[in-house]
């Protein structure tokens, strides 16, 4: 896998999805020597099961462990430090990681109890946990989700779990964006497998998961976060730490330079089930017939942005979406995705991203 590549897979089985992404990416060749110490860093911000939209599905981590152990990598660990106020050990237990560790023999490292040293992170001193700096290869497994302060949390921000609690507090006092970018200039992630199965639209702590049924792999956290922005209907400049990280040489924010490959198509996924009050309200403004989860989630993300801008009531027609509209002609209708190609106003794509949908609806 090259640094400008992103691989996308759709499905409902996290373990198989992760294994397939690792295989397609040639992860074993990226790591190289079987003696290298490999760390897997999920997002366990708090003790909340992945189904709530905040934490990484343990099945994704298990898929990678299976892949790596089958190929002779034995120096593996799972490392994480929950946010200030939550106990990592409790998150390991409740999110299924204790059980995963017992089953696979891969140890858990709680970075909240780890030692740390200060490093010069491109001009900003930051204390980083010893267990993270001792790794030879860091695999980041963030959740693609919204964040009430930074709007997006994904690959770049997930490394905050590898600094001590006192540094996490300081990150907030520094406004998050700058320290996140600078941390990534020192602590490099070598491979990213992002969990886009059911991330929360708005809150880091979850509670309102939106099923999208996808996972995304890449090597460049800036590029991957830029793409995650598109999936959530955000422009990359709405998340300042992305361009800041790019300016520090962490990666490339230009999606025009990315090669994005889908390993399968979203057809066959169960139809989307809207959850939560916000989603229900937005869903009442959509006409959906057998919409795939990823397509539906993208439209919900885009509608949420339009709602915040006061534009929702100015749409000329109710947006239609889903495989149930295939082959239908609508001389006045507004249709999202390839399935609605017969509509007067149609955005092609299968699925289109939330950003594309937002731009399309704004222009209408």
| Interface residue list for ligand SF4 (CB under 6 A) | 266-267, 291-292, 294-295, 322-323, 337-339, 350-351
Comparing CB distances to ligand SF4, the nearer of 194 and 295 is: 295
Comparing CB distances to ligand SF4, the nearer of 44 and 297 is: 297
CB of 169 to ligand SF4, least distance (A): 42
Classify 103 in phi/psi space as left (phi over 0), alpha (psi -120 to 50) or beta: alpha
Comparing CB distances to ligand SF4, the nearer of 248 and 292 is: 292
Q: Which residues pair with 217 in a beta bridge?
A: 7, 193
Comparing CB distances to ligand SF4, the nearer of 104 and 271 is: 271
CB of 333 to ligand SF4, least distance (A): 15
CB of 356 to ligand SF4, least distance (A): 12
Q: Is the dihedral of CA 265, 261, 328, 281 positive or negative?
A: positive
Comparing CB distances to ligand SF4, the nearer of 285 and 338 is: 338
Cβ-based burial of 24 (10 A; exposed 0-12, middle 13-18, buried ≥19): middle
Query: Which of 300, 165, 155 is closest to 239 using CA atoms?
Result: 155
Comparing CB distances to ligand SF4, the nearer of 141 and 286 is: 286
The residue written with tokens 């089953």 in the block is: 103
CB of 361 to ligand SF4, least distance (A): 15
CB of 350 to ligand SF4, least distance (A): 3
Asked whether the bond before 351 is cis by omega within 30 degrees of 0, the reply is yes
Comparing CB distances to ligand SF4, the nearer of 236 and 266 is: 266
CB of 354 to ligand SF4, least distance (A): 12
In angstroms, the CA 260 to CA 356 distance is: 15
Comparing CB distances to ligand SF4, the nearer of 251 and 337 is: 337
| Cβ–Cβ under 8 Å, residues 269 and 297 | no
Q: Where in the chain does DSSP place strands (E)?
A: 5-10, 38-42, 76-80, 108-110, 116-121, 124-129, 137-141, 145-147, 151-153, 191-196, 214-218, 259-262, 287-288, 319-321, 330-336, 343-347
At 94, list the tokens.
């409740």
Comparing CB distances to ligand SF4, the nearer of 192 and 292 is: 292
CB of 200 to ligand SF4, least distance (A): 21
CB-based closest residue to ligand SF4: 337
Work out the number of other CB atoms within 10 angstroms of the CB of residue 149.
10
CB of 168 to ligand SF4, least distance (A): 38
Comparing CB distances to ligand SF4, the nearer of 9 and 162 is: 9
Query: Which of 39, 7, 37, 12 is closest to 23 using CA atoms?
Result: 7
In angstroms, the CA 150 to CA 217 distance is: 22
Sequence-separated (6 or more) residues with CB below 8 Å from residue 28: 22, 67, 68, 71, 73
CB of 128 to ligand SF4, least distance (A): 40
CB of 232 to ligand SF4, least distance (A): 17
At 10, list the tokens.
């759709």
| Cβ–Cβ under 8 Å, residues 301 and 232 | yes
Kindly state the helix (H) or strand (E) to which residue 21 belongs, with its residue range. helix 14-25
């Amino acid at each position: 896998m090259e640094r400008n590549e992103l691989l996308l897979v759709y499905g409902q089985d996290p373990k198989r999805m992760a294994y397939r992404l690792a295989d397609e990416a040639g992860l074993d060749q990226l790591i190289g020597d079987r003696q290298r110490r490999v760390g897997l860093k999920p997002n366990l911000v708090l003790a909340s099961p992945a189904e709530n939209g905040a934490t990484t599905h343990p099945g994704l981590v298990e898929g990678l462990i299976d892949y790596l152990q089958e190929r002779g990598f034995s120096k593996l660990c799972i490392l994480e430090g929950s946010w200030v106020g939550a106990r990592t050990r409790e998150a390991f237990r409740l999110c299924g990681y204790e059980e995963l560790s017992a089953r696979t023999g891969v140890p858990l490292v709680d970075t909240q109890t780890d030692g740390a040293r200060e490093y010069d992170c491109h001009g900003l001193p930051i204390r980083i946990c010893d267990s993270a700096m001792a790794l030879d290869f860091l695999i980041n497994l963030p959740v693609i989700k919204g964040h009430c302060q930074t709007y997006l949390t994904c690959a770049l921000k997930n490394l905050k779990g590898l600094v001590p609690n006192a540094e996490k507090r300081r990150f907030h006092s520094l406004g998050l964006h700058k320290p996140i970018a600078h941390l990534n200039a020192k602590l490099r992630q070598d491979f990213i497998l992002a969990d886009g199965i059911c991330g929360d639209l708005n809150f880091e702590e979850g509670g309102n998961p939106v099923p999208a049924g996808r996972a995304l792999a890449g090597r460049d956290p800036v590029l991957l976060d830029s793409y995650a922005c598109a999936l959530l209907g955000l422009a990359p400049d709405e998340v300042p730490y992305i361009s800041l990280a790019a300016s520090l040489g962490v990666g490339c924010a230009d999606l025009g330079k990315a090669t994005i490959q889908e390993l399968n198509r979203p057809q066959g996924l169960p139809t989307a089930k809207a959850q939560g009050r916000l989603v229900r309200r937005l869903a009442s403004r959509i006409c959906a017939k057998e919409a795939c989860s990823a397509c539906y989630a993208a439209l919900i993300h885009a509608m949420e942005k339009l709602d915040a801008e006061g534009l929702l009531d100015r749409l000329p027609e109710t947006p239609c979406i889903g495989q149930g509209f295939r082959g239908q002609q609508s001389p006045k209708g507004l249709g999202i995705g390839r399935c609605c190609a017969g509509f007067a106003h149609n955005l092609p794509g299968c699925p289109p991203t939330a950003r594309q949908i937002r731009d399309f609806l704004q222009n209408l």
